[in-house]
Amino acid sequence: MGNKFYVPGEQRSGKVNDLFAAIAPRYDLINDLQSFGVHRLWKRRLIGLAELRPGERLLDLCCGTGDVALAGARQGVRVCGLDFSGPMLAVARQRGVASGLSQSPEWLRGDALRLPFGDATFAAVTISYGLRNLADLDAGLREMLRVLQPGGRLLVLDFGKPANRVLRAFYFRYLRWFVPVFGRCFCGDSETHAYIYESLLHYPEAAALAEMMRRAGASAVRVLPLVGGCMSIHLATKR
Ligand SMILES: C[S@@+](CC[C@H](N)C(=O)[O-])C[C@H]1O[C@@H](n2cnc3c(N)ncnc32)[C@H](O)[C@@H]1O
């Protein structure tokens, strides 16, 4: 069927950028509606699993409108939220100001595939609903591990593919037929949210992603399925 925002190859990043520019003002609202608000719990879980300690630095990649970066900052650590979408970062900046945090995250515009940081800069790297959007997953994972300190934690939250066939069929139908309605109603284009299903089809199963993380240099990789694998958190440490 195809989707105008999912274009493999050289145009992939540009199309993803177009997508998030189009949906940025409604991104948070639609997230709440399509997940029945539960994405907030999953993100809280992600930050809890990062086991952040005072004085550590956290990099939240593909930070979007800032949910995870702000949750990290609330733990009292220094956070950098990086994204390549100006409109998504603009929302994150506003939310940072409104949060009243004494140490709001630093917001940086940049490409997750070419991080503007030296090796071993961060104690933890999180990426929530971001990895699936990268043009090159292997290169993205290698970059994340490069900027992590030895023993640092890498945490990936994203959509998953439930092993249970009945659940998978139901869930995929929800993503394919229902979620695009949010795009049509709030962004005037069903393809903005049909993109989720399309990009998930091209995203690896949980076990295959764990193997990619190991190949990129991660150790102690664990997978935490959420809602029967509809979502998953991959946790790992840098060797
Ligand atoms: C689905 S949103 C996730 C936002 C946020 N992390 C969350 O969980 O709500 C994906 C984000 O990834 C960003 N993104 C995609 N590819 C990127 C890349 N190569 N470099 C930086 N940001 C990227 C998009 O701009 C978008 O803001």
Q: CATH code at 14?
A: 3.40.50.150
pLDDT attached to residue 239:
87
Supply the range of the domain harboring residue 126.
9-238
Under 8 Å CB-to-CB from 8, ≥6 apart: which residues? 202
Give bridge partners of residue 125 from the DSSP assignment.
59, 154
Give bridge partners of residue 159 from the DSSP assignment.
231
Yes or no: say if 220 and 154 are a contact pair by the CB < 8 Å rule. no
pLDDT tens digit string along 135-152?
999 999 999 999 999 999
Domain-located, residue 1:
no
The DSSP annotation for 72-116 comes to HHTTT-EEEEEES-HHHHHHHHHHHHHHT-SSPPEEEE--TTS-S
Specify the 3-state DSSP secondary structure of 238.
strand
| Ligand 1 centroid, distance to 35 Cα (angstroms) | 17
Domain-located, residue 67:
yes
Domain-located, residue 52:
yes
Domain-located, residue 3:
no
Nearest CA to ligand 1 atom 23: 62
- Number of structural domains (the chain) is 1
Specify the 3-state DSSP secondary structure of 135.
coil
134 lines ligand 1 (CB under 6 A): yes
| Ligand 1 centroid, distance to 62 Cα (angstroms) | 3
Give me the mean pLDDT over the 58-73 stretch.
98
| Ligand 1 centroid, distance to 88 Cα (angstroms) | 8
Ligand 1, pocket-test mutation among 35, 83, 138, most atoms within 8 A of CB: 83
16 lines ligand 1 (CB under 6 A): yes
- pLDDT grade, residue 182 (50/70/90)? very high
Note if the pTM is more than 0.95.
yes
Give how far Cα 163 sits from Cα of 107, 113, 225, 230, Å.
Answer: 37, 30, 10, 9
pLDDT tens digit string along 204-224?
999 999 999 999 999 999 999
Give me the mean pLDDT over the 26-43 stretch.
96
66 lines ligand 1 (CB under 6 A): no
Q: List the one residue out of 199, 194, 153 whose CA is nearest residue 177.
A: 194
